Structure 1
Amino acid sequence: MPLPFLTADRTFDSAAESALPYDDPDRWRRPYRPGPWRVGVAALVLLLASFVLFAAVLTALTGSPPTSAVVLGVGLAIVAGALRLLRMGVWVSGRGLRSTGFLVTRTVPWARVVSVRTVQQPVRWLGLPRTVQGQALALVRKDRPADDTPPLLTTHSLDFLGRPVAFDRAADTVEAWAAENHRG
């Protein structure tokens, strides 16, 4: 079963390739692959979900349907959380830029985007409160101050920790989308 949210829309093998190879510019796409940390955490969460779902089956076999229904609900919630974790990230289309978090998704139309650029700044390590020096892809909007907008991508996130080349490619691709949609 193909899982389109796990794949990037393009490969980075050809340097001569255009920055924006797309057939349908209005389709939302993630311009990078999810990182090994994100996929690993999601795999561990799905492993936990398999144990919880197995417990739901065992509970149902022992004759306690209300309890097994609660355990089944918890197991399905864990699966939904793992899938949401895999969908987190930055998505682009001809309509705008979408930043998908675990609980909140924010979409900014290209008309409200002033610039997208890579900056050197303290960034959160794996989303935790601890900050380290790194790079971030910053979004500058017309309707908000620059300090008020969280970074789109960072070098120390689940997708790019220990993968600076992947961060550079993703940042360049998002910047190219922004430049292309400001022109058009």
Structure 2
Amino acid sequence: MSEDPVPLHFLTADDGLDTAPSDTPLPYEERERWRRPYRPGPWRVGGAALLLLLASYMLMSTLIIAMAGTLVEALVCLAGAALVIAYALRLLRAGVWVSSRGIRQVGLFTTTTLAWQDVAAVRTAQQPVKWLGTPRTVQGQALLVEPRGREALRTVFTDHNADFLARPDAFDRAADVLEAWAAEHRHPQHP
């Protein structure tokens, strides 16, 4: 007996690259919906999984402390587990999201949204990039968004971040999709 797997929409990209007709550069039907144009990488998913594993141990500790200790200690442990779960979920949501309204850069603690008409250029550049977000830098590629008349956004994503490390084809595909979204929405085609 075979069952269909439960879809985890927050982990998948709604890129439609496998089922899209070849003449459509952007195969999305619901362009108003915010979507991530790439799948989260194994480093991001693995880090979130380890945090959720830690949270499960903390929740088990909460139960043991509640049974054997005081209620205040159990509540402190429960609050810590809730913070770890929230951090893991935010880690999974971090990245670049696009819609017909603009581009959104979701970080762990901040979110920046820029309307397409405020975007001067979206391009890739060879430059020193951080390796997995650590202070160590290596030579790599970065996708840059240059806004009109504003301070530039921080690097949108690189080929050495948690989504694209050791996945150069995925980086190229994601950069191409973002550049296509920018080209289409900065200069909309009127029928």
The CA deviation string for residues 25-61 of structure 1, in whole angstroms up to 9 with x for no partner, is 1100000000000000100111100100100010111
Deviation at 1:144, TM superposition (A): 2.4
Question: Which residue number corresponds to residue 162 of structure 2?
Answer: 158
In the TM superposition, structure 1's runs of 4+ consecutive aligned residues that sit over 4 Å from their partners are none
TM-score between the two structures when normalised by the length of structure 2: 0.91
Aligned-residue CA RMSD (Å): 1.4
Q: What is the rounded CA distance, in whole Å, between the counterparts of 1:149 and 1:98 in structure 2?
A: 10
1:33 — aligned with what?
Answer: 39
Equivalent of 2:63, from 30, 49, 57? 57
Checking the alignment, whether the CA contact within 8 Å between 2:131 and 2:137 is kept in structure 1 is: yes
Q: Deviations over 1:69-103 (max 9, x none)?
A: 11001101100100000000000001100000000
Q: Cα offset for 1:143?
A: 2.1
Write out aligned runs for 1:1-184 (5 A).
2-13=7-18, 16=22, 18-145=24-151, 148-184=152-188
Runs of 5+ consecutive residues of structure 2 not aligned to the other structure:
1-5
Give the 3-state SS of the residue equivalent to 1:51 in structure 2.
helix
Separation in 2 of the partners of 1:107 and 1:141?
11
CA positional deviation for 1:13: 3.2
Q: Distance in 1 between matches of 2:158 and 2:57?
A: 33
> Higher helix proportion, which one?
1
Q: Which whole-Å CA distance do the structure 2 matches of 1:50 and 1:19 have between them?
A: 43
For residues 108 and 71 of structure 2, the distance between their equivalents in structure 1, rounded to whole angstroms, comes to: 31
Give the Å deviation of 1:17: 5.7
1:6 aligned counterpart, secondary structure: coil
For 1:100, give the aligned amino acid.
V
Q: What secondary structure sits across from 1:120 in the alignment?
A: strand
Identity %: 54
| Cα distance in 1, alignment partners of residues 27 and 101 from structure 2 | 16
Determine the C-alpha separation between the residues in 1 that align with 2:113 and 2:133. Answer: 20
Residues in 2 aligned to 1:11 and 1:27: alpha-carbon distance in whole angstroms: 14
TM-score, length basis structure 1: 0.94
